[in-house]
Chain A
Amino acid sequence: MNLQEILDVVDGEMLVEPLYNVDLERACASDLMSDVLLFTKPSMLLVTGLTNPQAVRTADMAEAPALLFVRGKYPPKETLALAQEMGIAVMLSPYTMFETAGLLYEAGLQGLGKLPIIKQR
């Protein structure tokens, strides 16, 4: 799914344009950056409510070419500047995380599939 299709589905806004034509195969929606890094896969869209620069760092480490911030929360300028520098596209969805994810999933964007269970204390 390309970025324009994603924007159309969530009625979103492009904040940082991609460096090249991005085609995403799957998305991961989380506010926990370690969780994102634990299960990262190539060509992944990172959907998150976390708008600080660490979201961009995480996308960079995870090689996610695009970020989608949710619930209309406009990110601070440091975040946008870092995204620009790192060449990561940034978009904004006016829907909550749940609804954004639901709309994208319904439109055919895949998730990460079934993950191993990690017992926590």
Chain B
Amino acid sequence: MKSRFALLSLMGKSGALTKIHELVREMPVSRVMTTSPATLSPDDSMQDFQALLRKLRISGAPVVEDEKLVGIISIEDLIHAMETGELSHAVREYMTTGDLIVARAQEPVMEALRRFERTGVGRMPVLNPREKLVGIITRGDITEALLHALQELYAEAEEIQSQPQHFFEALESESTNLLLRYHVEKDDFARGGDASAKIKQALLRIGASPKLARRVAIATYEAEINLIIHTDSGGFILADIQPDEINIVAQDSGPGIPDVELARQPGYSTATSEIREKGFGAGMGLVNIDRCSDEMSMWSAVGVGTRLQMKFDVSPEEARIK
């Protein structure tokens, strides 16, 4: 089980304090208060109040007359009434009136918290700008909101921690790899790029960074187009995905390249004008592969075929979704 302290320190990094700070300073009382609280009329009896306390398990209530707050009645007032045996008397006789301690719906929770501290009251009726009672707030409401925010932060922090540091982190073996194989048809321009797009998608799905997925896809795409343009009968692409490196092989069985070094020169091409019209064959494909991969090697023999191998290093940052 993960240590809560580790999570807390992580939360510190993700700005937990800032978030709680924001909550207390910026969140208005209206978001935290209990809306439409139970109220009493000044003409209700203390017995009515007692029944209300019992029914709702509360410890006090605002007293309202003509939609205006006229007093607050609490459990202490009820005890007082009980002592004098006057439970049939009106709430009006026991409630606190005058300079009532209230909260404003629009003020920040921080202000309400300060007022609780300063006055020692247990609850405050909440008034809107037109002095109408819209809710009631207790210290408990604020605590609950804070706990809720903390819970969300914990969930966030846990999610950050559970993200993979490298591919297949959850799988244990001496060596793990995922093999993806695609056949590429000669002259199949319409589907050209299909294999590369699928490899890119697979990488993104297992958690590769978009940057890593892009450079693998671009290099593979160039290799795929080469198989379509230059081979006798197409070829295949094999992607071998390992926790710390990706190897892609594009292989065909002919015609083979007479001079591999020459073929690697920028701008060198044997493509027909028809291919060039399609936007390829400008002699930049291998240059592009070289640039996108960390290692590239090409073997070819006329009459046998060509094997292009590309290696991509996976750094911990690249293996993780940003």
Contacts and interface: CB of A to CB of B under 8 A. Distances in A.
Partners in one complex: yes
Interface stretch (A1-9, A55-63, A65-73, A90-98): A55-63
B278 A121 contact: no
Interface string B211-251: 00010011001100100000000000000000000000000
A50 B180 CA distance: 30
A75 interface: no
A61 B221 contact: yes
Contact of B280 (A34, A38, A40): A34
B303 interface: no
A119 B264 CA distance: 12
A8 to B, nearest CB: 28
B157 to A, nearest CB: 29
Interface in B113-172: none
B265 A121 contact: yes
Contact of A33 (B190, B217, B262, B280): B280
A70 B278 CA distance: 15
Contacts of A38: 284, 287-288, 291
Contacts of B225: 33, 54
Contact of A54 (B193, B268, B283): B193
Contacts of B268: 120-121
Interface string A92-121: 000000000000000000000000001111
Given A61-B214, A63-B214, A34 B197 contact: no
B266 interface: yes
Contacts of A32: 279-280, 282, 284
B284 A35 contact: yes
B238 to A, nearest CB: 19
A57 B288 contact: no
B285 interface: yes
B192 interface: yes
A57 B193 contact: yes
Contacts of B288: 34, 37-38
B173 to A, nearest CB: 32
Interface residues of A, number: 26
A37 B221 contact: yes
B255 interface: no
B269 to A, nearest CB: 10
A78 B189 CA distance: 11
A53 interface: yes
Contacts of B193: 53-54, 57-58, 60-61
Contact of B266 (A33, A50, A78, A121): A121
Contacts of A55: 279
A31 interface: yes
A49 B192 CA distance: 19
B265 to A, nearest CB: 5
A116 to B, nearest CB: 10
B291 to A, nearest CB: 7
Contacts of A118: 266-267, 287
A68 to B, nearest CB: 15
B267 A121 contact: yes
B192 to A, nearest CB: 6
Contact of A120 (B196, B217, B266): B266
B200 A61 contact: yes
A57 B280 CA distance: 12
Contact of B279 (A54, A61, A119, A121): A54
A48 B210 CA distance: 24
30 contacts: A32-B282, A33-B225, A33-B280, A34-B222, A34-B282, A34-B285, A37-B288, A38-B287, A38-B288, A40-B214, A48-B279, A50-B279, A52-B189, A52-B279, A54-B193, A54-B225, A54-B279, A55-B279, A57-B197, A61-B196, A61-B197, A61-B200, A62-B214, A62-B218, A63-B210, A86-B197, A120-B266, A120-B268, A120-B283, A121-B266
Given A32-B282, A61-B197, 6 more contacts: A32-B284, A33-B280, A34-B285, A57-B221, A61-B193, A118-B266
